[in-house]
Copies of this chain bind each other. A is one copy, B any other.
Amino acid sequence: MKADGQKFISCTRIAEGLDLDPTSVRKDLAFTGIIGRPRIGYDLVELMEAIATFLGWRKSKEAFLVGAGDLGRALMGYQGFREHGLEIIAAFDKDPALIGQQIHGKEVLDVTSLSDLISRMGIFIGIIVTPAAVAQEVADTMVAGGIEAIWNFAPVRLVVPDTVIVENVELSASLSVLSSRLSDARKAPTEQ
């Protein structure tokens, strides 16, 4: 909408676009501290700024990624994360063929140096994109180095101290939801 030159947006428009309840949208946006104008709505730029500040996107956060396979490379190359304040500054892997390579301008380092570099560089976000079998070991190493938050793409439930935040991305779970909804729809078509 901003690119289209629009200046204002109402809760109703946001609610329609995202298929949400307008009252929830209003309440949720109130948390950011922004105040809308009756019958006009929010100033679009102010709203974007308020959301970004509230969600911490304005403070750039450096992260280490472990697992320089296809998905790891994809995450390193994804420009969208920078808009959300995340900068992946290096990748780690145990594969000697990958160590020393550059991926999207970032170096792949030996995973044996992970814990040491986390603590020396004060990195507090770790991204795990390894096979499930080694994810817990990587998480332990990250926690030992001082990581405070783990973004986990490995299909495994990590065990970490309560003080460490884990956010799981479960691609297979999302696929299961899709296939289960599809199989329901094919069993019982909504219309004849």
The 8 A CB mask of A168-192 against B (1 = contact, 0 = none) is 0101101111111111011000110
**Known A174-B167, A175-B151: A18·B157 in contact at CB below 8 Å:** yes
A141 to B124, CA, bound (A): 43
**The one of B85, B162, B169, B176 that contacts A179, using a Cβ cutoff of 8 Å:** B85
Stretch at the interface among A5-13, A37-45, A54-62, A105-113: A54-62
The 8 A CB mask of A62-85 against B (1 = contact, 0 = none) is 000000011101110110110111
Tell me, rounded to whole Å, the shortest Cβ–Cβ distance linking A175 to chain B.
5
Interface size range of chain A in the complex? 35 or more
Task: Kindly list chain B residues whose C-beta atoms are within 8 Å of the C-beta of A17.
Answer: 157
Residue of B with least CB distance to A186: B148
A165 at the interface (CB under 8 A from B): yes
A73 to B186, CA, bound (A): 29
Tell me, rounded to whole Å, the shortest Cβ–Cβ distance linking A187 to chain B.
10
A82 to B155, CA, bound (A): 14
A98 at the interface (CB under 8 A from B): no
A86 to B182, CA, bound (A): 12
4 extra interface residue pairs, beta carbon distance < 8 Å, beyond A70-B73, A125-B178: A81-B171, A149-B178, A149-B181, A165-B178
Contact sample, A vs B, 28 pairs, CB 8 Å cutoff: A18-B157, A19-B157, A55-B176, A55-B179, A55-B180, A56-B179, A56-B180, A56-B182, A56-B183, A61-B179, A69-B77, A70-B70, A70-B73, A80-B171, A84-B172, A86-B179, A148-B182, A148-B185, A149-B181, A151-B174, A151-B175, A163-B190, A165-B181, A165-B185, A167-B174, A167-B175, A167-B178, A169-B174
User: Considering the complex of A and B, which 5 residue pairs feature the smallest CB-CB distances, nearest first?
Assistant: A70-B74, A56-B183, A167-B178, A71-B74, A74-B74
